[in-house]
A = this chain, B = another copy of it.
Amino acid sequence: MSYFTHLECAVPCGAGPYDPRQRQHLCTCGAPLLARYDLDRARQWSPRTLADRPSTMWRYADMLPLLDDDEPVTLGEGFTPLLHARALGRTLGLSRLYIKDESLNPTNSFKARGQSAAITRARALGATTVSVPSAGNAGNAMAAYAARAGMAAQVFLPRDAKAPFVRECALYGAQVTLVDGLITDAGRLAAERGGPLGWYDVSTLKEPYRVEGKKTMAYELAEQMDWTWPDWIVYPTGGGTGLIGMWKAFEELERIGWVRPQRRPRMVSVQADGCAPIVRAFAQGTERAEPWANAKTVADGLRVPRAIGDFLILRALRESGGTAVAVSDAELVADMQEIGRHEGVSAAPEGGAALSAIRRLVRDGRIGSDDTVVLFNTGGALKYLDVLP
């Protein structure tokens, strides 16, 4: 049973509402659509029900985009560990550093959450072929969930995508197209090819449900922290779906009465020196982010020169009193190793980048020694072993 009711423009521009029983992608104004729920009725839903729920993100099904008798397309995603990183924290002078370890998801990254939700709706809407442009992990996740749902998958990757991303797509039977350029170029080609063929496009925020899957990271944090918020959430930001989703979840959790209104976490977007459009826009105080030219970083998930949800990311950073930090490839690779050495956690370059950002904010006196800090390790190291020295 879900309280899901309709879709709404994220701006909001006044168009809509949009009917989730039809395929919906963007608002007529070009902005992403967001799923809305009957939050007043949802106040009946009690956290006590969670004791009997599956240990996946679908434990929060009441606030996920299910209609009628929809069954989730699931591979056991979510409800990942929140690890108290005492040893790593000590090296930084932090007593309350936590790692949300998203590498324990299917396909080894947080992308599983978004795809589980997106493919669930795609199946309900009768899609038979799904497509996505990806830096790597989102393509792997989509391929896996499409296989699980019995759909054909078309994944568009930059030509220089690492071999493990390409091979993992093939393992799930997906068709891979390598595209000259970056994820934005891949997106263009995917739309061009798939449009006439009726492929269901699950590009970041061009369909409204990946953000719903990603928002469960905040539901879990709240549950794991006993319905309070940490002081800081430090989040590697490419397309930013997770950050947007968590910001949305804070609102929902307050509105349904599960978290009493309190200071929300300061949100920190972490990007790489070689591709930092959000960091630049945050510093310049603009509402949107200019596309980044010549994007380059070993953290593939951060190599996103333009995010369609940029204004939502920037809004969350500012409203939360957070910030945006860019780190170098050398720093983030060294910090993958620090996470491994001190905590035994397998961190993707993006996870390493989050640690580098925390290091910077501690040094600058922004993060205090008793602050509760959550580092999002968005994926594991296994697809990136070549970046290690």
Contact = CB atoms under 8 A, between A and B. Distances in A.
Interface string A100-120: 010111111000000000000
Mostly, the A contact residues are helix
The contact size tier of chain A is 35 or more
B388 A75 contact: no
Contacts of A383: 382
A145 B343 CA distance: 8
A341 B150 CA distance: 9
Interface string A192-229: 00000000000000000000000000000000000000
| Of A81, A145, A337, most B-chain CB atoms within 10 Å | A81
A346 B104 contact: no
Contacts of A80: 76
Contacts of A101: 75-76, 106
A287 B168 CA distance: 41
B55 A171 contact: no
A51 interface: yes
Contacts of A104: 76, 104-106
A154 to B, nearest CB: 15
A56 interface: yes
Contact of A75 (B81, B143, B163, B341): B81
Nearest to A163: B385
Contact of A381 (B56, B143, B171, B345): B171
A11 interface: no
A83 interface: yes
A380 interface: yes
A311 interface: no
A385 B165 CA distance: 10
A337 B81 contact: no
A252 B190 CA distance: 55
Interface in A307-346: 336-337, 340-346
A174 to B, nearest CB: 9
A282 interface: no
A340 B173 contact: yes
A167 B385 contact: yes
Contacts of A76: 80-81, 83, 101, 104
Interface string A131-151: 000000000000111111010
B79 A344 contact: no
A171 B340 contact: yes
A346 B74 CA distance: 14
Contacts of A108: 108, 346, 380, 382
A380 B383 CA distance: 12
A99 to B, nearest CB: 10
Interface of A: 51-52, 55-56, 74-76, 79-81, 83, 87, 101, 103-108, 143-148, 150, 163-164, 167-168, 170-173, 336-337, 340-346, 380-383, 385, 388
- In order of increasing CB-CB distance, the 8 nearest A-B pairs are A76-B81, A144-B344, A55-B55, A147-B344, A148-B344, A173-B341, A51-B51, A171-B340
5 contacts: A74-B83, A107-B346, A108-B382, A143-B344, A144-B345
